[in-house]
Chain A
Amino acid sequence: MKRHTFPHGIHPPELKHLTESKDIETVPAPETLVIPLHQHFGKPAKPLVEKGDDIFLGQKIAESDGLFSASVHSSVSGKVKSIDPFSHPGGSPVPAVTVINDGEDRTDSKILKKEMSLEEVARLSSKEILEKVKEAGVVGMGGAAFPTAVKLNPPSDKPIDCFILNGCECEPMLTADDRLMQKYPHEIIKGAELACKATGAKRIIIGIEDNKKKAYALFCQQVKNCPSIFLSESERPFREVALLKTKYPQGAEKNLIYALLKREVPRGGLPFDVGTVVQNVATSKAIWDAVSRNRPLYERIVTVSGSGVNETKNVSVRIGTPIYHVLDFCGGIKEDANLLIIGGPMMGIVQWTTDVPVIKGTSGIITWKVSQAPLEFSCIRCSRCVDHCPMRLVPTQLAKLVKYDHLSEAESWGILDCVECGSCQYICPSKIPLVQWLRLGKTKIISKKRKKSA
């Protein structure tokens, strides 16, 4: 069996065994939820509700503001307690709507109880599909939270021939996508077909890493069995499943495109530029739910794992549920746990409090017990970071350029291509915080550019 891959990258311990056999459990909605208005790449959404308003499940509580923004919906029914800045997994507080749950889950009549039939779905035009995806506030659920409606609407001069479904889940420990693929294969495939209809792609490739054998076997079978949303045989996109080597960061968009199609996204470019669109499998399911049931994105699947939690689980959580509530559902955290990461262990963000909400991009909650922070030493110029950087950059040099504020030189060395995957820092024997340096440099360069254009 051919296993696709990309050059460079790393092999961190997978640690998927902690949760890969655990089926998805549903966390009951808590009494109070905090739904941040900024859960996506781009500007925060504008609130549509006020303090004291009565809201129902799935009601749009904030409207997207600008092109790269996404709408936010309520994940329970109840009363709005306040709209104030609240701590956010990203680190800095953002405006959030606090909702008191009445436990009744009264829903909007627009949300359909049953899926529309395939014939009804087939009648939808690509414009209607896009409108529904936008209305449902769907964003990329792999972590970057890029608004899906923007991704599915490529510029007309860039024809799309291939839609890639990203089922890599290359982050160690996370198994949420794995479990999702095993539970909802048809929804995922149909969601991908809707994306094909919107973008005009004629081919679907489902990329799955070889440590998810069950999901791979299931998909190999289901691509043949799953009914299509295209009624005529000739319109149907060609479906195929591709096995990928287990390597980090296989699921990074640009690496995945290279691994599967051997196409290289140009510097500063997007997957559009090489005729592809990549979506996470969870996003694909969200697209299907949004289109076939008008169901907005108010729930997601999260892996709770690590040595600091009593029971590791895969759970389905309403957006806005505080992390401590999810951890309590998993038997609480151990007394000696001292590290909490939201996201995967490689790219996730360390938290200082458990009082932050689950957002659309939260793929994992990792708790850990660490004895002490690694000591940083000087660079010994071993070039391991250069050998492993999936974007083929020179992290050690870039870090140095940022340190001494040579930003324009750092830019010419390609710092803006960095995807912040953390491979360089993982492999660095001197434990230099390379990712933080690179991120700092990128932020400085981007803010300087913004200032210049303003």
Chain B
Amino acid sequence: MTNILWPIITMGALGLLFSIGLVLAYKKLRVEEDPRVVKISEVLPQANCGACGYSGCRAFAEAVVKGEASPNGCPVGGGEASEQIADILGVKVEDTAKKVARVLCRGSLEAAKDRGFYTGISTCAAAHLIGGNKQCSFGCLGFGDCARACPFDAIEMGKDGLPVISEEKCTACGICVEECPRDIIELYPVSQDILVFCRSRDKAALSRKFCKNACIACGICVRACPEGIILEDNLAKIADYSKIKEEHIPAIEKCPTKAIGRISQE
């Protein structure tokens, strides 16, 4: 019996000693932390995607409390998160429209011609180094760098060789926008459903030769709604979406190459 007594006493005494040490350290060395940082961190999505420009959700929360970042700076959390953050800080934020990433190219495998037989590395970035695998030097390369980069699994490569972005899953973090070497993905408000699906600034004759679905700058859409749509660099451009009214849309949709029009809902 006494054999076990001594170990219990020594271990107990050691434990007591260390716990006193810990208590003292806690009292003396404690760093005061703003409770708001913890609260804000809790309402953030914890995806640590970096879309806000900070290294993670926690860093963003600290920046918001310090006043370096705006409460609506988290594109993933969107309006809901920014409202909650504003509540915690006791400020008001203006409502930000939810955005979504859109693919601005319809140069599918069938529509856009290949340059030749590309045998290099199967990533868009690598293919872009040598000018790309397609004849069009502005369109989608189709190797899916965007799909691999998306942290929310919102992008899938479709059978036609173009990325398909799920509107529900997309959080508008903008990582795909950064990743795409051809800059064909852009963030748009969800409500905007008329877009130009082409980025080719080649002259009409060339872009028509390279891709069936390229904008040929014929101006049909511009005539349909001159206030909202302009031609720039051989390419139609929506200058002011608010000017495009419902009655203009049938005329806009007469686009011979379907390079401008409504987003197809599949």
Residues of A within 8 A of B (CB): 84-85, 90-93, 349-350, 352-353, 373-374, 433, 436-437, 439-440, 443-444
Contacts and interface: CB of A to CB of B under 8 A. Distances in A.
B202 A85 contact: yes
A34 B106 CA distance: 30
B75 interface: no
Interface string B96-124: 00000000000000000001110111010
A436 B202 contact: no
A433 B121 contact: yes
Determine which residue in A91, A349, A352, A433 has the highest number of CB atoms from chain B within 10 A of its CB, and name it: A352
Given A349-B130, A437-B121, A443-B125, 5 more contacts: A93-B137, A353-B115, A436-B130, A440-B126, A440-B129
Contacts of A353: 115
A92 B120 contact: no
B203 A436 contact: no
Nearest to A92: B131
B151 to A, nearest CB: 14
A90 B132 CA distance: 11
Contact of B129 (A85, A373, A374, A443): A443
A367 to B, nearest CB: 13
Given A85-B202, A352-B115, A436-B126, A91 B120 contact: no
11 contacts: A85-B201, A85-B202, A91-B130, A93-B137, A349-B130, A352-B115, A433-B121, A440-B123, A440-B129, A443-B125, A444-B125
Given A91-B131, A92-B131, A352-B135, A373 B119 contact: yes
Nearest to B149: A405
Nearest to A431: B119
Nearest to A84: B203
Contacts, number: 42
A109 to B, nearest CB: 37
Contacts of A439: 129
Interface residues of B, number: 18
Interface of B: 115-117, 119-121, 123, 125-126, 129-132, 135, 137, 201-203
A91 B118 CA distance: 13
Given A92-B137, A93-B137, A436 B115 contact: no
Given A84-B203, A85-B202, A90 B125 contact: no
Contacts of A350: 116, 130
A92 B135 CA distance: 10
Contacts of B121: 433, 436-437, 440
B115 A440 contact: no
Contacts of B135: 352
A91 B132 contact: yes
Report the 4 A-B pairs with minimum CB-CB distance, sorted nearest first: A91-B131, A352-B115, A373-B119, A352-B116
A169 B238 CA distance: 53
A194 B6 CA distance: 94
A93 B201 CA distance: 11
Contacts of A90: 131
B141 to A, nearest CB: 12
Contacts of A436: 120-121, 126, 129-130
B92 to A, nearest CB: 34
Contacts of A91: 129-132
Given A84-B203, A91-B130, A93-B137, A373 B117 contact: yes
Contacts of B123: 440
B186 to A, nearest CB: 19
B8 to A, nearest CB: 52
Contacts of B131: 90-92, 352
A436 B130 CA distance: 9
Nearest to A432: B121
Nearest to B114: A352
B123 to A, nearest CB: 8
Nearest to A375: B119
A440 B125 contact: yes
Contacts of B132: 91-92
A433 B116 CA distance: 18
B138 to A, nearest CB: 10
Contacts of B115: 352-353
A99 to B, nearest CB: 18
Contacts of A444: 125
A433 B130 CA distance: 13
A92 B117 CA distance: 17
Contacts of B119: 373-374
Contacts of A93: 137, 202
B3 to A, nearest CB: 56
Nearest to B115: A352
Contacts of B129: 91, 436, 439-440, 443
A433 B121 CA distance: 7
A439 B129 CA distance: 8
Contacts of A437: 121, 126
B34 to A, nearest CB: 30
A248 B91 CA distance: 67
A85 B115 CA distance: 18
A349 B130 CA distance: 8
A436 B119 CA distance: 11
Contacts of B117: 373
B115 to A, nearest CB: 4
Contacts of A433: 120-121
Nearest to A340: B116
A349 B131 CA distance: 10
B178 to A, nearest CB: 10
Nearest to B201: A85
Nearest to A437: B121
A433 B131 CA distance: 17
A323 to B, nearest CB: 15
Contacts of B202: 85, 93
Contacts of A352: 115-116, 131, 135
Contacts of B203: 84
A90 B130 CA distance: 7
Contacts of A92: 131-132, 137
A353 B126 CA distance: 20
Contacts of B130: 91, 349-350, 436
A373 B137 CA distance: 23
A97 to B, nearest CB: 16
B120 to A, nearest CB: 5
A240 to B, nearest CB: 40
